[in-house]
Amino acid sequence: MYKTYVIFIIVSCLLSVSCSDSYKSEKTKDMSKRISIVNDKIISEVEKELMEKYADADTFRIKRGVRQVASFWTDSDGSIDEYKKFCTDNFIDSESELENTFEKISRNIEILSGNMNRIILDLKVPLDLDVGEIKNVDVMFGSYNPGSHLEEDFYRNKIAFYILLNFPFYTLEEKYSLGENWSRKDWAYARLGDYIISRVPSDIIQEYSEILTNTDSYIAEYNIYMGKVINDKSETMFPEDLKLISHWGLRDELKSHYNSDNGLEKQKMIFQIMNRIISQEIPEEVINSDKYRWNPYTNELFEGTEKIDFSSEPDTRYQKIIDIFNGVKKYDPYFPGYPDNIKREFELNMEIPQKEVEDLFIELMSSEQVRKAGELISKRLGRKLEPFDIWYNGFGSEKRIPEEELNKLTRAKYSTSEDFRKDIPSILTHLGFTNARADYIASKITVDASRGAGHAWGAQMRTDKAHLRTRVEKGGMNYKGYNIAIHELGHNVEQTLSLYDVDHYLLNGVPNTAFTEALAFIFQKRDLEILGVGQKAQYEDHMMALNILWTGYEIMGVSLVDMYVWKWLYDNPDATASQLKEAVISISKDVWNKYYAEIFGVKDQAILAIYSHMVTYPLYLSAYPVGQLIQFQIEKYMEDKSLADEIQRVFTLGRLTPQMWMKQAVGTELSCTPLLESAEEALTVINQ
């Protein structure tokens, strides 16, 4: 998983919006009045004065800059006369001076962003890495955000206003209409304009940082000891030392049993555990503890052979979601034009409107190809579909290798996280990178043993390294940890290329997290090949299309639940954890009944609500299926080209808008159509 929220807190929150008359909604105007002391008459006077002073200057820049400064100028910033003087003294009319100023600001933003990121990363080491028991003081320091006062300071010393005055913010609609004709420098200027779009008080930023840290710790410690889980015959089905984090570990373990002894029974047991977590009927005593034996079917707890009373988890899962919502909601008044987190996540962060994403997902989920794929899976399994077959992974390869054998291979190869770090150059050369490029990229990545499932944490300055975190058990890295590590390495490669090899620092990165997920998926798909045990499968290209279709079908439903839950929260801002739980379960069942029930032959399933992202990474889930669509289009484009060369080309395009990035990378915009067409072809061939 790509850690975006910390950067959102320390960087993306330093902002303001364009306040051109054409853009201002009534709600925006109302909020501006509450914040600003500058009225339209004063704004017009300053605009006129600057246009007379700089007769040859860009009128658009003058008007938008003056209004952007006015949007957030308060009594604490100075009088009306001081506002006027600031604008007339600090507007830059010379193109050469503007470019020189841009370079200075870029350098300073890199210094601030990079070092803040580094501090936060280091403070979170006791929480994120497997370095011992977490103490209260670790949580205190881990939740501290040293950048929480940065925005406030930028307004106080007028840096924010200086940027607002000289570098316009462009709406998403404007980027779409104007961006086609922009140069790389124009895009970099526009991204500097994106840097200041709100004025969030530091105490709100710090409070939200603490909420995120506490929630992340809750999820990181949500483990189930599978050797203590029993069936109705008091039998254990799993190794004594198997500890699985929810939901990632549980899901991956379930997926691993499509070709194992008693696989279906094991899958049904894991599915039951998931349902108990969703309903919060799970005994609190079994979370991250191996003290008791638990039957998830009857929901009975045993100490030895004696049944004992227990307390169910008290809707903690849903209280954490409410905590996140309450923290995010406090940001709302400080983003004129983006009055809720849904709009911010999709239009500011993803830069694709939420309705477009929703429609894209519904198009695929409602397709005839998905129905046919479900029929094919049922035929291949030799049984009716079960709800957990949303995680069917049999399209990944025609020749499966037992996970026990894979565990032996990965544990022997990677006994520590350092072993994996040393092997990164070899992994990259296996994927087609030259020795020099492989060494260069590997030199900018470090590997840590993660406490949780794993994540990638990119650098934010070109003197720092990206961090790859994956779980390393005592006996070495098992296959799940290796698979995650390869996924996260894809993130790290993107993070390195899009930081170090992009022409302007403010264009560093990719359009949104879906694009870094795309490269992570491309790497992860090749994990067995990299390990030296992968064989070219029959109908490999067709299988890839069906695999992306089916996995996209699954995660798109989860993403819709995430979206609809956040809409529900905004409609019910005072909801209790119990009320939210009922709403989440109801929404999950509704989505299931619309898009899954007919194919699976069973209604009213809540399994789509199991994803931990919904708890600690709100509205992040959409990045995965969008990333899969991007991955598919990139893979198709690269079929007859050098993978390494194309990766280095497309992932140095920088942070353009998603559709513009896609057109420059592969020649077409983001769409379901290529995947659906390829899936139809695959179904025809495989069913022959």
pLDDT digits (tens, 9 = 90+) for 589-598: 999 999 999 9
CB atoms < 10 A from the CB of 687, how many? 10
State yes or no: cis peptide before 247, omega within 30 of 0: yes
Distances (CA, A) of 162 to 39, 159, 201, 358: 19, 5, 19, 38
CB atoms < 10 A from the CB of 493, how many? 31
* Residues whose CB falls within 8 Å of the CB of residue 522, separated by 6 or more in sequence, listed in order: 490, 631, 634, 635, 643, 647
How far apart, in whole angstroms, are the C-alpha atoms of residue 657 and residue 176? 8
Q: Tell me which amino acid residue 349 is.
A: N
pLDDT, residue 7, reads 35
Residue found under tokens 């990378």: 665
* Residues whose CB falls within 8 Å of the CB of residue 676, separated by 6 or more in sequence, listed in order: 364, 367, 369, 549
Percent helix, strand and coil across the chain, each rounded to 5? 60, 5, 30
531 token code pair: 């390990």
pLDDT, residue 138, reads 92
pLDDT, residue 279, reads 98
* Residues whose CB falls within 8 Å of the CB of residue 48, separated by 6 or more in sequence, listed in order: none
Strands 243-245 and 293-295: unpaired
Buried b (16+ CB within 10 A) or exposed e, 269-298: bbbbbbbbbbbbebbebbbeeeebbbbbee
Q: What is the DSSP letter of 312?
A: B
Q: Contact 583/602 with Cβ under 8 angstroms?
A: no
**Helices 417-430 + 479-500 axis angle, to 10:** 60
pLDDT, residue 259, reads 87
How far apart, in whole angstroms, are the C-alpha atoms of residue 461 and residue 164? 23
Query: Would you list the domain boundaries of the chain?
Result: 5-199, 218-279+281-314, 340-396+536-686, 403-531
pLDDT, residue 399, reads 47
511 token code pair: 């359009």
pLDDT, residue 400, reads 62
How far apart, in whole angstroms, are the C-alpha atoms of residue 549 and residue 368? 11
How far apart, in whole angstroms, are the C-alpha atoms of residue 552 and residue 514? 13
Residue whose C-alpha is closest to residue 483's, from 588, 410, 585, 418? 410
Distances (CA, A) of 176 to 392, 503, 508: 38, 21, 19
Instruction: For the chain of 688 residues, list the mean pLDDT of each consecutive stretch of 10.
Output: 37 32 36 67 96 92 96 93 97 96 97 94 90 90 85 92 96 92 97 91 89 94 97 94 95 94 96 98 97 97 95 97 97 87 93 94 98 97 97 74 90 95 97 98 94 87 94 90 94 97 96 87 90 75 92 97 98 98 98 98 98 94 90 87 96 95 94 95 91
Cβ-based burial of 495 (10 A; exposed 0-12, middle 13-18, buried ≥19): buried
Q: Contact 265/386 with Cβ under 8 angstroms?
A: no
